[in-house]
Amino acid sequence: MALDDRKSEFTFVGTRPNRPDGLDKVTGRAKFGADMSAPGMLHGAILRSPHAHARIVKIDTSKAEAHKDVKAVVTRADFADVPFKPGLEGEFWNVLENVMAGEKALYDGHAVAAVAATSALAARDALKLIEVEYEVLPHVTDVDKAMASDAPVIREGAADYSVPEGMHPNVVRYHESGHGDVEAGFAEADLVIEDSFVTEATHQGYIEPHACLGMLGNDGKGELWCTTQGHWIAQKTCAALLGIETSQLRVTASEIGGGFGGKTTVFIEPVALALSRKANRPVKLVMTRSEVFRATGPTSSASMDIKIGMKKDGTISAAQGVFRLQGGAFPGAPGDMTAMCAFAPYNLTNVKQVGYDVMANRPKQAAYRAPGAPMGAFAVESVIDELCKKLDLDPVDVRLKNAAYEGTKASYGPRYERIGLVETLEAAKAHPHYSAPLKPGQGRGISCGFWFNHGGETSVSLSLSEDGSAQLMVGTPDIGGSRASMALMAAEVLGIPYENIRVTIADTATLGYNDVSHGSRVTYASGLATIKAANHAVEKLCERAAASWGIPTDAVKWENGCAVPSGPNAGDFDPRPLADITAHMGSTGGPISGHFEATPEGAGVSFGTHIVDAEVDPETGKTAITRYTVVQDAGKAIHPTYVEGQYQGGAAQGIGWALNEEYIYGEDGRLQNSIFLDYRIPVASDLPMIDTVIVEVPNPGHPFGVRGVGETGIVPPLAAIANAVSHAAGVRMRQLPMSPPRILAALKDNG
C-alpha cells in the first residue's frame, strides 16, 4: 500500500508517557476476566480426564443433575447439535474436540463434562457426582516415541497431504524447504558438526488464569466477557461450536493478565455459553492454575538434528536441520515455523530444513511468543557456537560474516527487504558487556534470533469530541502497553496531546473485524490503522477549515494540530486549531471521525542478538545468570519503555525455559507439576537486571517505521543461555531445561 505519510521526525512518538491503563491496574479498578458478575449468575466447573488416553464408554450425569444447586450439566452432546452449521470441520472441529472430549479423552486434563450451579463450591462438589466409565488406552507423551512404529495412534486420518508415505499416523504435517546443494556444501567445509537437541514443553505462565462470563439465550443471542488476545476469534469460534450466527454473539475483551500467545484460542468460553444456554442464566467459569497447566495450550516439545559445515574463515558452507515438534493430541505443532526460522538469520548458499508436526497425548499446544522459533534457534545456534569454539573464531564475527541483509535470499524462500540483523550484531559487539572480563566459573554466550512478524486483519475507528479530544477504538487487546503506543501515534498525526486521546479496546459489536493480538502485529497493524484513521479525520478537519475560509480543500494542510493555508497563494487565514473546528462541527456538517480497515502486508521481519553471562556451581550444577543484554531491531520504538519491557520479558521467559521450566509427565501420562511451586518460572531474585539496546532500522512497510517487537525477544535466549552455560560448565548442554540435576550429571559424565 502507498505510504505517502511516512515520517521520520516526531513530536510524541519516542516519548515515554505513563500508560493509560496503569492507574486502573495498580489501584485494582481494572476489570480482568474473573472480575465480571451478572444478576442471577451461576458458577461453572469442568470435569477433566485423569487419564492420558482413554475411551469414554459412558457418562452418567443424572446424580449431578439431581443436585439441588445444579442448574445445568453439559457434555459433548450439547455441542453436537448444530443445526445452523452442521458438520464442523478443520480447526473448528479440533477446537471443539479440545474444548469437550468426544469419543476419547486424549490427555490428562481433557474436559469431559461441565456443570453450572448456584455457587462455585456446589459446582465443584457436583463434579464428583458425575460418573464416567473409561476404557484406558496406551498413551505416548514423548515426541520421538510418538513417531515410532509401535506408538499408540492418537487419531487415524489426522494427517494431511504433506506427510510422506510410511510415516506413523501421529505425524500429521510435514514441511521441507531450502535451496542450494547441502551435500556439496558439506564437502566444501573445513569442519562439519552434527548434533541432536531436545527441548521440553513450557507454559506461557500468564498470571491471570482463563476466565469468562457467558450468556446465551435459546433465541441464539448471546454476550461473552472473557480474557483473550482476540475477541473476534472467540466470537467466531464460539458461534461455530454452538451453532449460532457470529453476529448474534457480542464479545467483550476484559483487561488481560498476560497471554503471550496462550490466549489466542478458546477453552472455557464455549462451555460457559453451552451451560448458559441450558440453564438460561449467565455462567461464570474461572480456571484454577492446575487447569491452566493441564488443559490450556503450552508450547511444543521438540527433538532436533542439526548439521552445519563451516570453513576456516567462518563461512557457513551448508546447513541442514530436522525439527520434530510435538503439539498435543491435535494437529498444529509449528514444525514448519521452527524449520523456516532456524537458519533465517544467515545468508546461506546451501540450506535444507525439514519440520514435522507430531501428535501425542498432551494438551493441544498454543502459540507462545514466536511459536516454534526458540527451539530451532537453540539447536542451530548451539552448533554454530561449537563450530566457533573448535575453529577458534569469535562468535559475533562469525555471525556478522554470515548475516543476512537487504536482498539476501532467506532460508525459507523470499528475499529480505531492509532488515537490521547486522546492526544488532554490530551493537552487540560494541556493547561493553561483550568485552567485560568474566570471573572463573562464568561463561558467555551469544545468539541471534529471527521472527517473521505479522500484519493481519485490522479495523480502527477514531472520533473527535466537541472539546477537541479524541476517542480511538482499536480491536486488538492490549497485551503490552499498546494503548499508549496507539495514543502516541494518533497524537502525532492529530497534533493534540497524548493525554487528550482515550483509547478503548472496542467489543465485537462496535468495530469491524480484528485478528488476534499475536504475531507482534499490534503496534504495527493497529498502529498503521490508527495513523490512517487519524489521517482520515484530518482530511475532514481540513475540509471544514477550507469551507469556512471559502478556499478549496487541497489549499489547506494540517500542521501542529491546526488547519493552515497550504501556501501563500491559498490565502491569508489564521490557523484553526483542532478544538476550534470540532467546537462547531455540529453545525458545519456533523460529527468528525476517521476509520480504517485493511490487512496490512508490510509487517517487516525482525532480528535480535542476545549476550548472556552464566555462572555454574560445579558442585551442585546450579546456574546463575549474572548478566544479560538484549539487542533488537524495533524499526521505530513508539514508546521505548514498553519496547524495553518486551525485550526484558522475552529474556526473562527465556531464562525460565532454558533453566528450569518443563512439563513433567509420569509413567502414567499424567502431568506431575501442575502448580507454580513445581513448575519453576523464574522469581524476581533469579534474574539480573536485563539491559536493552533498541536498534532502529525503519520498516519500509509502516509509516513511522515500526517493526513488531513482542516475539523476537524470546528466540535467542535458549541458545544464548545454553552457550553461556556450556562454556561455564565446560560441557555442551543439548537438552532443555538445563536444570541442576542435568548439569551435574553432564559434569560427572565429563569427568
Residues binding another protein (CB under 8 A) = 124, 288, 290, 619-622, 659-660, 664, 672-673, 675, 677-678, 680, 682-683, 685-686, 739-741, 744-745
Nearest to 480 by CA among 716, 224, 714, 711: 711
Nearest to 84 by CA among 247, 244, 248: 244
User: Looking at beta carbons only, is 124 or 418 nearer to another protein?
Assistant: 124
Q: At what angle do helices 269-279 and 90-99 cross, to 10 degrees?
A: 70
Output the smallest distance, CB 164 to another protein, in A: 37
Output the smallest distance, CB 301 to another protein, in A: 16
User: Looking at beta carbons only, is 517 or 739 nearer to another protein?
Assistant: 739
* Separation of first and last alpha carbons in the chain: 61
User: Looking at beta carbons only, is 359 or 738 nearer to another protein?
Assistant: 738
Q: How many Å apart are CA 336 and CA 338, to the nearest integer?
A: 5
Output the smallest distance, CB 293 to another protein, in A: 12
Output the smallest distance, CB 685 to another protein, in A: 4
In this structure, are strands 131-136 and 54-60 parallel, antiparallel, or unpaired? antiparallel
Nearest to 558 by CA among 496, 502, 498: 496
Q: List Cα–Cα distances, 662 to 197, 204, 205, 462, 672, in angstroms.
A: 15, 11, 11, 44, 10
Do the beta carbons of residue 621 and residue 741 sit within 8 Å?
yes
At which residue does the C-alpha cell 497550504 appear? 566
User: Looking at beta carbons only, is 92 or 676 nearer to another protein?
Assistant: 676
Output the smallest distance, CB 319 to another protein, in A: 34
User: Looking at beta carbons only, is 66 or 675 nearer to another protein?
Assistant: 675
Output the smallest distance, CB 176 to another protein, in A: 37
User: Looking at beta carbons only, is 151 or 746 nearer to another protein?
Assistant: 746
User: Looking at beta carbons only, is 18 or 672 nearer to another protein?
Assistant: 672
Output the smallest distance, CB 673 to another protein, in A: 5
Output the smallest distance, CB 622 to another protein, in A: 7
User: Looking at beta carbons only, is 2 or 683 nearer to another protein?
Assistant: 683
Output the smallest distance, CB 286 to another protein, in A: 13
User: Looking at beta carbons only, is 170 or 660 nearer to another protein?
Assistant: 660
User: Looking at beta carbons only, is 643 or 658 nearer to another protein?
Assistant: 658
Strand ranges in 401-549 using DSSP code E only, listed in sequence order: 442-451, 458-464, 470-474, 501-505
CB within 8 Å of 162: residues ≥ 6 apart:
173, 174, 175
User: Looking at beta carbons only, is 203 or 540 nearer to another protein?
Assistant: 203
**DSSP annotation string for 685-722:** GG---EEEEEE----TTSTT-----TTGGGSSHHHHHH
User: Looking at beta carbons only, is 555 or 687 nearer to another protein?
Assistant: 687
**DSSP annotation string for 111-147:** EEEEEEESSHHHHHHHHTT-EEEEEE------HHHHH
In this structure, are strands 211-216 and 283-286 parallel, antiparallel, or unpaired? antiparallel
Long-range pairs for 21-26: beta carbons < 8 A, 24 or more residues apart: 21/255, 21/478, 21/483, 24/255, 25/255
Number of H helices, E strands in the chain: 21, 26
Q: How many Å apart are CA 586 and CA 676, to the nearest integer?
A: 56
CB within 8 Å of 567: residues ≥ 6 apart:
555
CA atoms within 13 A on the CB side of 412: 19
User: Looking at beta carbons only, is 554 or 678 nearer to another protein?
Assistant: 678
Q: What type of residue sits at position 436?
A: A
User: Looking at beta carbons only, is 589 or 666 nearer to another protein?
Assistant: 666
At which residue does the C-alpha cell 441464539 appear? 220
Output the smallest distance, CB 746 to another protein, in A: 12
In this structure, are strands 171-179 and 351-358 parallel, antiparallel, or unpaired? antiparallel
Output the smallest distance, CB 470 to another protein, in A: 43
How many beta carbons lie within 10 A of that of residue 263, not counting itself? Answer: 32
- Provide the b/e sequence for 160-184 (b: ≥16 CB within 10 Å): eeebeeeebbbbbbbbebbebebee
Which burial class, exposed, middle or buried, applies to 315 when counting CB atoms under 10 A from its CB (0-12, 13-18, 19+)?
Answer: middle
User: Looking at beta carbons only, is 391 or 687 nearer to another protein?
Assistant: 687
Output the smallest distance, CB 48 to another protein, in A: 12
User: Looking at beta carbons only, is 2 or 677 nearer to another protein?
Assistant: 677
User: Looking at beta carbons only, is 57 or 675 nearer to another protein?
Assistant: 675
Nearest to 490 by CA among 460, 539, 531, 538: 531
Q: What type of residue sits at position 271?
A: V
User: Looking at beta carbons only, is 280 or 290 nearer to another protein?
Assistant: 290
Output the smallest distance, CB 621 to another protein, in A: 8
Output the smallest distance, CB 744 to another protein, in A: 6
- Dmax (CA) for the chain in angstroms is 89
Q: List Cα–Cα distances, 2 to 259, 275, 528, 532, 600, in angstroms.
A: 33, 49, 12, 11, 11
Do the beta carbons of residue 356 and residue 148 sit within 8 Å?
no
Output the smallest distance, CB 665 to another protein, in A: 10
Output the smallest distance, CB 245 to another protein, in A: 39
Output the smallest distance, CB 672 to another protein, in A: 5
Distance from chain centroid for Cα 120: 31
Output the smallest distance, CB 123 to another protein, in A: 13
Long-range pairs for 155-162: beta carbons < 8 A, 24 or more residues apart: 155/106, 155/329, 155/359, 158/330, 158/331, 158/359, 159/331, 160/331
